[in-house]
């Protein structure tokens, strides 16, 4: 299985679409089973409501054995939102204090040792140097909402439900910032077991469905 799994490499089928809403579905097939030998149904729904975009993932176990699964979002935003402002003018504001250490990657795997959290109280001041070591991973996340803004408008707010982790990432030198709710994360460097036992997975019983949601709200122009 490649980085970020396999779903993004497949065409989903339309099951609904109109002016403000669409829904797409992916089910297991011969190709997915070569890399992921489980029966599943993944439906993704997008609903635009004014300045809010609501995204829902419905993961269903359509098989007769327990389904081990991970899923995450990968939305990216302009950074800076306004070209006249410096990137360092921007910050992320969490809905809750985030005192727990963060995690980092090495060679695509989760480093064994946690690292100091760069969040001060509820605020993460943004700069390119934060991402020299790739993504910032909050694997003991308390917040369910985050604000992204500078002193001037516009601003972005993201909220989520059902995702226990969060990744924040930017490619060095790029004018983008990714705020990524996750259920699951890369394998720890020390992990050498069966995929079913990989830390961070959800486990769905036969017939069980798990619903995960996030919302992107745009404010101020």
Place 78 in a pLDDT band, splitting at 50, 70 and 90: very high
> Span 183-199, mean pLDDT?
92
> Span 49-65, mean pLDDT?
97
> Span 98-106, mean pLDDT?
95
pLDDT of residue 220: 67
Domains, the chain, ranges and CATH? 7-219 (2.70.98.10)
Position 126 pLDDT exceeds 80: yes
Place 42 in a pLDDT band, splitting at 50, 70 and 90: very high
pLDDT of residue 116: 94
pLDDT of residue 3: 78
Q: What is the 3 state secondary structure string of the chain?
A: CCCCCCHHHCCCEEEEECCCEEEEEEECCHHHHHHCCCCCEEEEEEEEECCEEEEEEEEECCCCCCEEECEECCCEEECCCCCCCCHHHCEEEECCCCCCCEECEECCEECCCCECCCCECCEEECCHHHHCCCCEEECCCCCCEEEEECCCCCEEEEEEECCCEEEEECCCCCCEEEEEEEECCCCECCCCCCHHHCCCCEEECCCCEEEEEEEEEEECC
Look at 58 and 5; give whichever has higher pLDDT.
58
> pTM of this prediction?
0.93
Place 221 in a pLDDT band, splitting at 50, 70 and 90: low
């Amino acid at each position: 299985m490649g980085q970020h799994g396999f779903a993004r490499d497949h065409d989903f089928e339309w099951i609904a679409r109109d002016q403000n809403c669409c829904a797409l579905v992916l089910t297991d097939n011969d190709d997915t089973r070569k890399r992921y030998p489980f029966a599943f149904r993944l439906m993704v729904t997008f609903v635009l409501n004014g300045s809010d975009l609501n995204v829902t993932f419905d993961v269903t176990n359509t098989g007769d054995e327990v389904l081990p699964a991970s899923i995450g979002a990968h939305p990216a935003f302009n950074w800076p939102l306004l070209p006249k402002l410096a990137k360092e003018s921007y910050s992320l504001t969490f809905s809750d204090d985030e005192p727990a250490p963060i995690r980092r990657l090495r060679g695509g795997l989760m480093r064994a040792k946690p690292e100091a959290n760069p969040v001060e109280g509820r605020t993460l001041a943004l700069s390119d140097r934060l991402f020299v070591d790739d993504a910032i991973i909050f694997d003991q996340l308390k917040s369910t909402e985050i604000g992204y803004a500078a002193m001037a408008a516009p601003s972005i707010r993201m909220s989520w439900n059902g995702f226990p982790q969060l990744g924040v990432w930017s490619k060095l030198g790029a004018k983008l910032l990714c705020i990524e709710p996750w259920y699951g994360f890369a394998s720890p460097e020390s992990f050498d077991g069966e995929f079913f036992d990989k830390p961070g997975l959800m486990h769905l019983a036969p017939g069980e469905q798990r619903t995960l949601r996030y919302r992107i709200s745009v404010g101020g122009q």
